[in-house]
Amino acid sequence: MTRQLLTIFLVLVTLSSTMGKTEKQAAVKKEKRVPQTLSRGWGDQLIWAQTYEEALFWARSQNKPLMVIFHLDDCPHSQSLKKAFAEDKEIQKLADEDFILLNLVYETTDKHLSPDGQYVPRILFVDPSMTVRADITGRYSNRMYAYEPSDLKLMLSNMQRAKKFLKTEL
């Protein structure tokens, strides 16, 4: 499964890098690139960690749960979820106030972040005690950590659940 995904990803990367070269060179001449943001569109006003290690450190030191969003730019499901997520004021507020946030387009080496496989979009919560909350799931039994734009109410209630820590003392 992982191998297959990796192969597909390799092919995609190779394709896009060879295709991208002429485009890229043309693009440089034609227009200035828009600087990449850490938010990648999931909430420009939120504060995002860059790496998983950094996010874990913040979660522990600020005693906040970590929310990890796996997504891809060329995945329409990721894109539609992102749009809904970024526009949902209640979720943005809760995320801003009570969560350490990380969005990734590349898998980490921590297998706990893929309890039922590597797919996108996929959202995992990590307790400040450094435990991945595999118990906080969406509504799809075949992809337990996937959400659709229509699932934002469930996501909000899952965020509330993640705020109830596994251990009260670290």
Question: Which residues in this chain contact a second copy in the complex, by CB under 8 A?
Answer: 2, 5-6, 8-10, 13-14, 17, 20-21, 24, 28, 32-33, 35-39, 44-45, 47-48, 50-54, 57-58, 61-62, 96-98, 104-109, 163-165, 168-169
CB of 139 to a second copy, least distance (A): 26
17 vs 157, beta carbon nearer a second copy: 17
How far, in whole angstroms, is CA 153 from its chain's centroid?
Answer: 18
What phi and psi values does residue 81 have, to the nearest 5 degrees? -65, -40
CB of 3 to a second copy, least distance (A): 10
CB of 63 to a second copy, least distance (A): 9
36 vs 141, beta carbon nearer a second copy: 36
Q: Which of 139, 157, 156, 149 is nearest to 81 (CA)?
A: 149
With contact defined as beta carbons under 8 Å apart, do 155 and 123 qualify? Answer: yes
Tokens of 149: 């734009």
Q: Which of 161, 104, 163, 93 is nearest to 128 (CA)?
A: 163
132 vs 138, beta carbon nearer a second copy: 132
Q: Does residue 35 have a cis bond before it (omega within 30 degrees)?
A: no
CB of 40 to a second copy, least distance (A): 9
126 vs 138, beta carbon nearer a second copy: 126
65 vs 138, beta carbon nearer a second copy: 65
Contacts of 114 (CB under 8 A, 6+ apart): 107, 122
